Amino acid sequence: MTVIDVRDLRKTYGSTVAADSVSLQVEAGEVVGILGPNGSGKTTTVECIAGLRRPDSGSVRVAGLDPAAERDQITRMVGVQLQQAGLQGKLTVREALDLYASFYDDPADGPALAESLGIGPKLDARYDNLSGGQKQRLAIALALIGRPRIALLDELTTGLDPRARRTVWGVIEQARDAGTTVVLVTHFMEEAQHLCDRLVLIADGRVVAEGSPRELIGSAGAPTTMTFTPSAPVRLDDLAQLPHV
């Protein structure tokens, strides 16, 4: 069943075209990654899906609803982690989790979710006193605390160390296994390959390719190029005899 249906989405900011005829569909239970260079229109597309921005033209439907016109219903089923967001500085982690949990009828256990993301010991720490990575993991917890039907995650693990990144991946996999559909904006190829069932590549505001990670890697057909400066003379004949060189 298609839970996100974007058709010919166009969004401009003055003379800048952020999204130009973007179309994509996401099926229930999928983890779909949106990739592309900075400024390609990824975040604008996700914000239109979340109902945070209204498209200039085209259509967006989330579970059959218009996110811009039916915000109350959308916010009860969609969890959002934005690329840039913040909380009131004196709010503690526990207070933030309790506040967001109060928005939903059947929220997850906030302290348990924080523990799974590695910020359990910071429940009584104020937001201003958290590190950048801890703030990022709190934002993920707030996006998932409502047990959303759909999670929109923009730059999921930017700023996290490798161990924390793996921890977050595990939480996203648990959410997927529990039935959450995930749209993930990322620049990390390893993350996309590890988590995503399907990838959508956006460049210059348009979808330029889509498919499974294996399909896109296979279709690229690009050779691997290694550049290095040797510390001593190297015989080119010796290099040419190596397999695949």
- What is the distance of C-alpha 111 from the center of its chain? 23
Q: Where are the domains of the chain?
A: 2-240
CATH-assigned architecture of domain 2-240: 3-Layer(aba) Sandwich (3.40)
**Confidence bin at 84 (pLDDT 50/70/90):** confident
Residue 167 CA to residue 144 CA, distance in Å, equals 15
Q: What would the pLDDT profile of 38-70 be if each residue is shown by its tens digit?
A: 889 999 999 999 999 999 999 999 999 999 899
CB 198 within 8 A of CB 32: yes
> In angstroms, what CA-CA distances link 80 with 62, 142, 144, 162, 242?
13, 8, 8, 23, 49
Q: What would the pLDDT profile of 28-45 be if each residue is shown by its tens digit?
A: 999 999 999 988 999 999
CB 152 within 8 A of CB 80: yes
Residue 127 CA to residue 94 CA, distance in Å, equals 10
Tokens read off for 200:
């959508």
Q: What is the pTM of this model?
A: 0.85
Residue 195 has pLDDT above 70, yes or no: yes
Tell me what percent of the residues of the chain surpass a pLDDT of 70. Answer: 99
